[in-house]
Structure 1
């Protein structure tokens, strides 16, 4: 009886703490934009699909995200503190003198929009560096196809 109640308690507590604050990327939209006078890029990710737009007036090119990339994106997304994203500081300031395009990460999730402050394209804040690098990898893959 003690073993049964211990097992039940372990399962109950384990499940109770498991998904309380974990984010589900399946219901999120990630939008990364980078632009300057001569450069524009918008990468939008939603439901296993990536859309890459290379100029302001052009049409976005859509492609499916592989299962491997999607799983990696899920892990990275769960590490992002959505409430803190607006407070992240850029590690560089090249965008102030046209040394880099102005970049921004916006996440629409749970009926709310979370947007970072602007940062230099290629030099995101450390807290979101891995997910921004992954998002940008889809634009590079799109160029190769």
Structure 2
């Protein structure tokens, strides 16, 4: 996972959240006009991220179905998960922030936890 970059973003008119995880560090941006806050990821949390990441079929990421459609009527921000590894990028279609497809739910929840710390 040293060359893997995982990016989670959630956007709406009033929300801008971007979480970038790479090589045991995380960069969190909360707001359009704010600086990213970088920090190291402790070993226990990093191991959880690696474990959940390894369960994901990367080739299937673009085909994942969103379980809800609140983003269509401003009921939720539009979220996206993008994974770049070995020179290839895999990206989900938009889904509701807080309601990721079940195949990536545990990984997304681990990433979103960084905005709560």
TM bin, normalised by shorter chain, reads over 0.9
Q: Residue 73 of structure 2 is aligned with which of 97, 122, 135?
A: 97
Question: Could you list the runs of 4 or more consecutive aligned residues of structure 1 that deviate by over 2 angstroms after TM superposition?
Answer: none
User: What does 1:1-145 correspond to in 2, within 5 Å?
Assistant: 25-141=1-117
SS at match of 2:52: helix
CA RMSD, Structure 1 to Structure 2 (Å): 0.7
> 2: CA distance between counterparts of 1:43 and 1:53?
6
The structure in which a higher percent of residues are helix is: 1
| Greater CA drift, 78-87 or 55-64 | 55-64
TM-score, scaled to structure 2: 0.98
User: How many positions carry a matched residue from both structures?
Assistant: 117
Say which one has the larger Rg. 1
Unaligned 5+ segments in structure 2 are none
Q: Relative contact order: is structure 1 or structure 2 higher (C-alpha 8 Å, sep ≥ 6)?
A: 2
